[in-house]
Amino acid sequence: MTSETLGSLDCDCVQQLNGALEVIKKKKCGILFYLIQEGRGCGYVGKSRACQLVQYHNDTISTFDAYREMGMEKDYRSYTSIRDICHILKIAPEFVLLTNNPDKIEGLVSAGMTVKAVESIEVPPNPFNQPYLTSKQQSGHLLVLAKNKVPSFQLPRPPNAPFTPHSVDAGSRFVHVSSYFLPIKPRRILMTETEVRSMGFRGISWSCGYGNGHGKDYV
């Protein structure tokens, strides 16, 4: 949700997804299994609360530590559905698995799949995901670039302290579960001011500073 939909920079998920698609494109064969297992299978609520906890401790604990502190396992993901999909497709592949995570190799083998080889997909750390990648590397992930240190980003204000989930005053149907700083990669949406205003956005559009030679760009 956060990385692939919103474009957050505090992990490497979307880069791994795009990297896998690029490898499959170059090899001209392959399968992308997209499993809906947010936050290592603990769900978005658990993931967001873990991220808030890590941020509150200024990255001195990892998401693995945060899950443990909340009474959860470090990984709830299951790969049995891959076996079922292969059965439906009537294929029995010998996988060249694109991953940095030894647990995924073990999970696939345990599900009855054949892993012939493993290829790493790794991206350089950035100021927002350096601690996250380092914690994965320390937990056994096959990451080399995570050792390259980059200056960390300093939050513009103190992080939010953990709290008990509660219903929102303005709408009791909604539950406030977490609140933390989420760095998002800028998305360029090329529109004129007239087009932006025609969509009902008034007073919240601004120039992004990307010059395209055809007027202003707005978000």
User: Catalytic pick from 77, 83, 103, 197?
Assistant: 77
Q: How far is 124 from 57, CA to CA, in rounded Å?
A: 24
Cα angle at 63 between 62 and 66, to 5 degrees?
A: 95
Q: Please indicate whether residue 75 is annotated as part of the active site.
A: yes
User: Catalytic pick from 10, 12, 49, 75?
Assistant: 75
* Sign of the alpha-carbon dihedral angle for 79, 105, 23, 74: positive
Q: How far is 188 from 117, CA to CA, in rounded Å?
A: 38
Closest CA to 11 of 104, 204, 141: 141
Q: Please indicate whether residue 49 is annotated as part of the active site.
A: no
Question: Which amino acids are annotated catalytic?
Answer: 75, 77
